[in-house]
Amino acid sequence: MASVRSKTRKRRRGREPVGLTHDAVRREALRLIDREGLEEFSTRKLGRALGCEAMAIYWYYPSKEALLDAVVDLLVSGIAPSLSGPQRDWVEALRRIAHAYRGLAHTHPRAFPLLATRRFATPGTYAFLEQLFEMGHAQGLPDRTIARFFRVVAGYCSGVTLDELAGSRAASSEEADGAFPRVAAVTRWLEPRYDEETFDFGLEILLDALARTAKKSRR
């Protein structure tokens, strides 16, 4: 029975493409998302870009969800070098990752919501988390503290960066001038040119508080 199901799945996938690999498929998927956005992404369009039938993609990924997980894995591989080299302080590691994460968002703005909103679900993403969490463990932090630090920093980075990508919803200073002078005065500091400065400001406040907590939490 199992062999019959396997043969049926293979027929549905179509002929296996020549010269494609798992990595080539996910990289083309990322390029397509970068170009057209997540809403417009489909395996049919991806098949066209790869020069194969859409169903042939399932030779490499069993579903669209698995393919999107693979794209997340690829994006995370761009952050992973932040943990390379000698062991670093746990809070410093979080700082480096936060800046790499924000940089990735501006390199892949249309794909970034995928990274910010999906749970990690691949060996590559788990390996990244394992290395990061082991660093905190090696420095004497309890697992509960490591989990809290990770969730708080990840939430800050995702929220602030998604807001940056969306653009300010506030009225421009020109629109607010006259009737709302205080709104105009503050709004100019919300312009995109100050995004990096604001991100650093909030991140350092957060990391400073976490560093103090870490000293109290070490085993």
For residues 21 and 80, give the distance between their C-alpha atoms in angstroms, rounded to a whole number.
22
- Max mean pLDDT range (12-26, 50-64, 80-94): 50-64
Run of H or E including 116: helix 112-117
21-40 burial: b if 16+ Cβ within 10 Å, else e: eeeebbebbbebbeeeeeee
Please report the pLDDT score of residue 18 as a whole number: 60
Please report the pLDDT score of residue 148 as a whole number: 92
Q: Do 91 and 214 touch, CB atoms closer than 8 A?
A: yes
Please report the pLDDT score of residue 4 as a whole number: 39
Please report the pLDDT score of residue 214 as a whole number: 79
Please report which confidence band the pLDDT of residue 5 belongs to, taking 50, 70 and 90 as the band edges: very low
The pLDDT tens digits for 144-192 are 999 999 999 999 999 999 999 987 444 455 555 667 888 888 888 888 8
Q: Which residue has the tokens 């990595």?
A: 23
The pLDDT tens digits for 30-60 are 999 999 999 999 999 999 999 988 889 999 9
* Domains along the sequence of the chain with CATH: 2-62 (1.10.10), 75-217 (1.10.357.10)
Q: CB atoms < 10 A from the CB of 13, how many?
A: 18
For residues 111 and 29, give the distance between their C-alpha atoms in angstroms, rounded to a whole number.
10
Q: Do 105 and 164 touch, CB atoms closer than 8 A?
A: yes
Please report the pLDDT score of residue 216 as a whole number: 77
Weakest-pLDDT range from 3-7, 40-44, 68-72, 122-126: 3-7
Q: Do 162 and 145 touch, CB atoms closer than 8 A?
A: no
What is the pLDDT of the chain when averaged over all its residues? 86
Please report the pLDDT score of residue 24 as a whole number: 95
Mean pLDDT of 86-102: 87
For residues 151 and 157, give the distance between their C-alpha atoms in angstroms, rounded to a whole number.
10
Please report the pLDDT score of residue 8 as a whole number: 40
The one-letter code for the residue type at 124 is G
Percent of the chain whose predicted confidence (pLDDT) is above 90? 63
Mean pLDDT of 122-140: 93
